[in-house]
Amino acid sequence: MFPFLSCFSGSRRRERKCLLEKEENAKYLDRYPSWDGPENSLILQAFEWHMPSDKRHWNRLKRVLSEWQAIGVDHIWIPPGCKGMDPNGNGYDVYDLFDLGEFEQKGSVSTKWGNRIELEEMIRQAKSLGVNVIWDAVLNHKAGADYPEEFPAVAVDPRERTKEISKPFEIQGWTGFDFSNRRDQYSCMKYHWQHFSGVDWDQKREKNAIYKIAGPNKNWAPDVSNENGNYDFLMFADLDHSNPEVRNDLLHWGSWIAESLSLSGMRLDAAKHISTRFQKAFVEHVRDQVNPKFFVIGEYWTGNLYDIHEYLEKLDYQALAYDVPLLRKFSSISHSAKSDLRGIFEGTLVQSRPDHAVTFVANHDTQPGQMLETPVACSFKLLAYSLILLRKGGNPCVFFGDLYGIRANVEEPMKPACDGKLPILMQARKNYAYGEQENYFDQPNCIGFVRHGNAKHAGLVCLISNGDPNNKRMFIGRQHAGTQWKDILGYHRTSVVIDKRGYGNFPVNATCVGVWVDSAAVGKDGLPGTLDLNIYGY
């Protein structure tokens, strides 16, 4: 496990402990090279599940990019912009990977998000601001076939997919894809039943089940999650990544879209359902053909840390993964009165592989009503975001629905999270969260840490309570003696003065966070204004 830094105030014993832990960290990172990314990089997931189906989202993003860049966002994760079977769908029901809102297919030219011209204009605007774009790639399945085909299949037990519960028989599945209105532009590949592993609908009998396609060299991919025996099949028509034609078409698509849109990276949707050998080949291909620094985030959704490590190993650590164990910790602790905060990072990816962990508090799959709903109590979100945005380690991702609220197409609208202070935390990461980190994880319900800053950044103090009001004496450094530190979140009006030994006594309110910065640095950098919450356009 990656050693968890826990240096407390004291004299030589504290310094010796820090030194030993740094040596252990160095040994670890020698064994597992760190991910090459910019310091304090910040991802914003630039959508939520219930965004309006107004085909104006690319224009919406273009309008707010400068605001996001100003508060520290340098990567935006955008939704699947390929044509789905439903023109109002979010794109995870992917029909044609090569149609980015350019062809009249499935009843529309545009996708739910807009057309290709608007997409390209938005990305050009992002690039001009130094904001990179992460594409959400749906490579597990296809949906909305143009016609059904007959082929042999066997029904399998949905709870144990390796168990066949029928003999081979002829079914009729929706597996014929012609993309006729695209007229072979960008790719001449047509998809038929041979290109898939399984389907979930037999049109002949009008019956829903999981059918594994039968025939020579037909089976579930062996290098996927072993949930349900084998978790290759997820939904719709499941692509067979061992088929050479499928493999070549998807590799071609990867380099085509990365180059056409000047993408910096991709999120691989449903990664635990896709052959890891194929995923590794996909990353290597795009890096070789387009961009050697192209990066990938695998959506390998599991709370089992061992399984996430195994996934990353199979990809030779050429990808990042979501820290689902940490999210589940946030959710559990947030709903338990005064849970012990000291072990909040134990058993998480950010503790064991910080450079390969994408840390988050919510996303489109975990928001209310979704299949992977993992609720973090509203009162705890400020605490959770402080822990992922202001500490060393991890690649934090902020959720659109937390930044702006969720107001469209829901029965119970949600206000912006963190009492509206999430933009301040984001800009605090950009301006102050640098340098060595000293942890004060010494009380069950009140923890804190100091970022000591560097030559360009002043550093900060963060104090977190999930219980009663509290305070903590924390070491800032003798060079700061006499300076006044301000709570930039605005919960305390009185400054903390650093004493001659370099210590300050910092307070925090009940179930709250205090983020303290040298007043001189705040005067120099300023604080963000409020975001335009009218991003929805109504």
Please report the beta strands in 177-294, taking only residues with DSSP state E, as ranges in sequence order: 196-202, 207-213, 237-239, 265-268
The CATH number of the domain where 442 resides is what?
Answer: 2.60.40.1180
**Quick check: 144 pLDDT over 50?**
yes
Q: Which of 269, 355, 438, 518 is catalytic?
A: 269
Write down the pLDDT at residue 536.
63
CA-wise closest residue to 161 among 89, 202, 212, 114: 212
Q: How far apart are CA 336 and CA 469, in angstroms?
A: 18
The mean pLDDT of 138-150, rounded to a whole number, is 98
Residue 187 within any structural domain of the chain: yes
Which among 384, 415, 430 is the end of a domain?
430
Q: Which of 48, 299, 487, 518 is catalytic?
A: 299
Single-letter amino acid code for the residue at 284: E
Count how many Cα atoms sit within 13 Å of the Cα of residue 33 in the half-sphere of its side chain. Answer: 7
Task: Judge if 61 and 130 occupy the same domain.
Answer: yes
Q: How confident is the model at residue 29 (pLDDT cuts 50, 70, 90)?
A: very low
Residue 366 within any structural domain of the chain: yes
The mean pLDDT of 253-270, rounded to a whole number, is 98
Task: Judge if 97 and 116 occupy the same domain.
Answer: yes
Task: Judge if 131 and 147 occupy the same domain.
Answer: no
Q: Which spans in 356-442 are helix H?
A: 378-389, 400-404, 422-431
Q: How confident is the model at residue 33 (pLDDT cuts 50, 70, 90)?
A: very low
The mean pLDDT of 322-326, rounded to a whole number, is 98
Task: Judge if 230 and 267 occupy the same domain.
Answer: no
The mean pLDDT of 220-227, rounded to a whole number, is 98
Task: Judge if 147 and 129 occupy the same domain.
Answer: no
269 included as an active-site residue: yes
Write down the pLDDT at residue 531.
74
Q: Average pLDDT over the chain, rounded to whole?
A: 92
Task: Judge if 344 and 459 occupy the same domain.
Answer: no
Write down the pLDDT at residue 81.
97
Residue range of the domain that includes 382: 38-138+246-430
Write down the pLDDT at residue 528.
65
Write down the pLDDT at residue 390.
98
The CATH number of the domain where 127 resides is what?
Answer: 3.20.20.80
Q: How far apart are CA 330 and CA 375, in angstroms?
A: 9
Task: Judge if 293 and 213 occupy the same domain.
Answer: no
Q: How confident is the model at residue 211 (pLDDT cuts 50, 70, 90)?
A: very high
Task: Judge if 408 and 447 occupy the same domain.
Answer: no
Model confidence over 467-523: pLDDT tens digits? Answer: 999 999 999 999 999 999 999 999 999 999 999 999 999 999 999 999 999 999 997
CB atoms within 10 A of CB 453: 21
CA-wise closest residue to 260 among 75, 139, 138, 135: 135
Residue 31 within any structural domain of the chain: no
Q: How far apart are CA 435 and CA 353, in angstroms?
A: 19
Strands 470-475 and 503-508: antiparallel
Residue 22 within any structural domain of the chain: no
Q: How confident is the model at residue 2 (pLDDT cuts 50, 70, 90)?
A: very low
Write down the pLDDT at residue 18.
42
Task: Judge if 229 and 264 occupy the same domain.
Answer: no
Residue 273 within any structural domain of the chain: yes
Q: How far apart are CA 356 and CA 341, in angstroms?
A: 23
Task: Judge if 147 and 97 occupy the same domain.
Answer: no
Residue 474 within any structural domain of the chain: yes
**Quick check: 109 pLDDT over 80?**
yes
Q: How far apart are CA 172 and CA 202, in angstroms?
A: 5
Residue 502 within any structural domain of the chain: yes
Write down the pLDDT at residue 38.
67
**Quick check: 13 pLDDT over 70?**
no
Q: How many domains does the chain fold into?
A: 3
Task: Judge if 264 and 332 occupy the same domain.
Answer: yes
Q: How far apart are CA 113 and CA 59, in angstroms?
A: 9
Cα dihedral 23, 5, 374, 276, rounded to 10, equals 0
**Quick check: 416 pLDDT over 60?**
yes
CA-to-CA dists, residue 367 to 81, 374, 399, angstroms: 21, 7, 10
Residue 234 within any structural domain of the chain: yes
Lowest mean pLDDT among 36-45, 90-99, 348-357: 36-45
Cα dihedral 324, 327, 332, 336, rounded to 10, equals 170
Alpha carbon 109 to its chain's center:
29
The mean pLDDT of 136-153, rounded to a whole number, is 98
Write down the pLDDT at residue 9.
38
Q: How confident is the model at residue 527 (pLDDT cuts 50, 70, 90)?
A: low
Say what percent of the chain tops pLDDT 90. Answer: 87
Task: Judge if 517 and 403 occupy the same domain.
Answer: no
Which among 397, 412, 430 is the end of a domain?
430
Model confidence over 444-458: pLDDT tens digits? Answer: 999 999 999 999 999
The mean pLDDT of 355-359, rounded to a whole number, is 98
